[in-house]
Chains A and B, each alone.
Chain A
Amino acid sequence: MMGQGRLAAWAVGLAALVALPFLYRDPYHLHILVLILIWSFAYTSWSMMGRFGLVSLGHGGFMGIGAYVTALLWNHLGWSPWIGIPIAMVTAGALALIVGYPCFRFRITGHYFVLVTLALSGIVLQVITATRDYTGGSLGYTPNRASGNKLLALQFDDKTTWYLIALGVWLFGIVVWHWVDRSMARYALEAISEDEDAAAAAGVDVTAEKLKITLLSAVMTALAGAIYCQYQMFITPDTVSGIAVSLQMVFAAIVGGLFVSLGPTFGAVITILLAETLRIGFGTKAVGWDNLVYGVLLVLFIIFLPKGILGSLLDRLKPQRKVPRAHEQEAVQIARPGT
Chain B
Amino acid sequence: MQAFLDIFDIYLLEAVINGILLGGVLALLALGLNLIFGVIDVTWICYAELVMIGMYAMYFMVQYYGVSYFVAAPLTILLVAVLGAALHYLVIAPLLTAPPINQLLATGGVLFVLQSFATVAFGIDFRNLGIRLPVLAFGDMNFSYARLLSFLAALVGMVAVYLFMTRTFTGTAIRAISQDRQIMALMGVDTRRIYLITSALGGALAGLAACLLVLQYDVHPFVGLSFGPITFLICVLGGLGNFIGGFIAAFLFAEIISLGGLFSDLEWGYVLAFAFFIVMMFIRPAGLLARRR
Pair B105/A334 contact, Cβ less than 8 Å:
no
- Chain A residue nearest in CB terms to B282: A102
A333: chain B residues within 8 A (beta carbon): 99, 101
From A126, A306, A330, A336, name the one whose CB has the most chain B CB atoms within 10 angstroms.
A126
Pair B271/A130 contact, Cβ less than 8 Å:
yes
Judge if B130 is at the interface, Cβ distance under 8 Å: no
Pair A111/B37 contact, Cβ less than 8 Å:
yes
**Interface residue from A103, A123, A127, A332 paired with B105 (Cβ < 8 Å):** A332
Pair B225/A250 contact, Cβ less than 8 Å:
no
From A103, A294, A303, name the one whose CB has the most chain B CB atoms within 10 angstroms.
A303
Pair A119/B232 contact, Cβ less than 8 Å:
yes
Question: How far is A71 from B233 in the complex, measured between Cα atoms in Å?
Answer: 30
Instruction: Please classify the interface of chain B as helix (H, G, I), strand (E, B), loop, or mixed, using the class held by over half of its residues.
Output: helix
A53: chain B residues within 8 A (beta carbon): 101
- Chain B residue nearest in CB terms to A242: B225
A123: chain B residues within 8 A (beta carbon): 229, 270-271, 274
Pair A111/B105 contact, Cβ less than 8 Å:
no
Given contacts A250-B105, A291-B119, contact A334 B99 (CB under 8 A): yes
Question: How far is A289 from B286 in the complex, measured between Cα atoms in Å?
Answer: 41
Pair A306/B102 contact, Cβ less than 8 Å:
yes
A292 to nearest B CB, angstroms? Answer: 4
- Chain B residue nearest in CB terms to A127: B271
Given contacts A247-B108, A331-B101, contact A125 B225 (CB under 8 A): yes
Pair B232/A118 contact, Cβ less than 8 Å:
yes
A299: chain B residues within 8 A (beta carbon): 91, 106, 109-110, 113
Question: How far is A259 from B113 in the complex, measured between Cα atoms in Å?
Answer: 27
Pair B286/A106 contact, Cβ less than 8 Å:
yes
B115: chain A residues within 8 A (beta carbon): 244, 291, 295
Pair B99/A302 contact, Cβ less than 8 Å:
no
Pair A130/B267 contact, Cβ less than 8 Å:
yes
A295 to nearest B CB, angstroms? Answer: 3
Pair A288/B119 contact, Cβ less than 8 Å:
yes
A116: chain B residues within 8 A (beta carbon): 233, 236, 281
One digit per residue, 1 when the CB lies within 8 angstroms of any chain A CB and 0 when it does not, for chain B 48-79 equals: 00000000000000000000000000000000
Judge if A1 is at the interface, Cβ distance under 8 Å: no
Q: By the criterion of a CB under 8 Å from any partner CB, how many residues of chain B are at the interface?
A: 50
Pair B270/A286 contact, Cβ less than 8 Å:
no
B101: chain A residues within 8 A (beta carbon): 53, 55, 110, 114, 330-334
Pair A118/B229 contact, Cβ less than 8 Å:
yes
From B106, B222, B230, B240, name the one whose CB has the most chain A CB atoms within 10 angstroms.
B106
Question: How far is A288 from B254 in the complex, measured between Cα atoms in Å?
Answer: 33
Pair B95/A115 contact, Cβ less than 8 Å:
no
Given contacts A114-B101, A114-B104, A330-B101, contact A295 B120 (CB under 8 A): no
A218 to nearest B CB, angstroms? Answer: 15
B285 to nearest A CB, angstroms? Answer: 3
One digit per residue, 1 when the CB lies within 8 angstroms of any chain B CB and 0 when it does not, for chain A 72-114 equals: 0000000000000000000000000011001101111011101
B218 to nearest A CB, angstroms? Answer: 14
Instruction: Please classify the interface of chain A as helix (H, G, I), strand (E, B), loop, or mixed, using the class held by over half of its residues.
Output: helix
B265 to nearest A CB, angstroms? Answer: 5
Given contacts A286-B120, A299-B110, contact A254 B277 (CB under 8 A): no
Judge if B11 is at the interface, Cβ distance under 8 Å: no
A106: chain B residues within 8 A (beta carbon): 281-282, 285-286
A262: chain B residues within 8 A (beta carbon): none
Q: By the criterion of a CB under 8 Å from any partner CB, how many residues of chain A are at the interface?
A: 57
One digit per residue, 1 when the CB lies within 8 angstroms of any chain B CB and 0 when it does not, for chain A 309-339 equals: 0000000000000000000001111101000
Pair B281/A111 contact, Cβ less than 8 Å:
no
Judge if A251 is at the interface, Cβ distance under 8 Å: yes
Chain B contacts with A in 255-292, Cβ cutoff 8 A: 265, 267-268, 270-271, 274, 277-278, 281-282, 285-286
Pair B112/A288 contact, Cβ less than 8 Å:
no
One digit per residue, 1 when the CB lies within 8 angstroms of any chain B CB and 0 when it does not, for chain A 186-227 equals: 000000000000000000000000000000000000000000
Pair A288/B271 contact, Cβ less than 8 Å:
no
B63 to nearest A CB, angstroms? Answer: 21
Question: How far is A98 from B279 in the complex, measured between Cα atoms in Å?
Answer: 10
Pair B116/A288 contact, Cβ less than 8 Å:
yes
A130: chain B residues within 8 A (beta carbon): 265, 267-268, 270-271
**Interface residue from B99, B230, B274, B282 paired with A331 (Cβ < 8 Å):** B99
Question: How far is A98 from B275 in the complex, measured between Cα atoms in Å?
Answer: 10
Judge if A296 is at the interface, Cβ distance under 8 Å: yes
B267: chain A residues within 8 A (beta carbon): 126-127, 129-130
Question: How far is A129 from B229 in the complex, measured between Cα atoms in Å?
Answer: 15
Pair A98/B278 contact, Cβ less than 8 Å:
yes
Judge if A264 is at the interface, Cβ distance under 8 Å: no
Judge if B111 is at the interface, Cβ distance under 8 Å: yes
From A106, A111, A242, A306, name the one whose CB has the most chain B CB atoms within 10 angstroms.
A111
B281: chain A residues within 8 A (beta carbon): 102-103, 106, 108, 116
Given contacts A115-B236, A122-B225, A299-B113, contact A330 B270 (CB under 8 A): no
Can you spell out 10 A-B residue pairs with CB atoms less than 8 angstroms apart?
A: A98-B278, A102-B285, A111-B104, A115-B43, A115-B233, A122-B229, A130-B265, A130-B267, A303-B106, A331-B98
| Other 17 A-B pairs with CB < 8 A, given A115-B240, A287-B124, A302-B105 | A53-B101, A102-B278, A103-B281, A116-B236, A119-B229, A120-B274, A122-B228, A130-B265, A247-B108, A247-B111, A251-B108, A295-B109, A295-B111, A295-B115, A302-B109, A303-B95, A332-B101
User: 6 smallest A-B Cβ distances: which pairs?
Assistant: A122-B229, A106-B285, A295-B112, A130-B267, A288-B119, A291-B116
A residues apposed to B, CB below 8 Å: 53, 55, 57, 98-99, 102-103, 105-108, 110-112, 114-116, 118-123, 125-127, 129-130, 238, 242-244, 247, 250-251, 254, 286-292, 294-296, 298-299, 302-303, 306, 330-334, 336
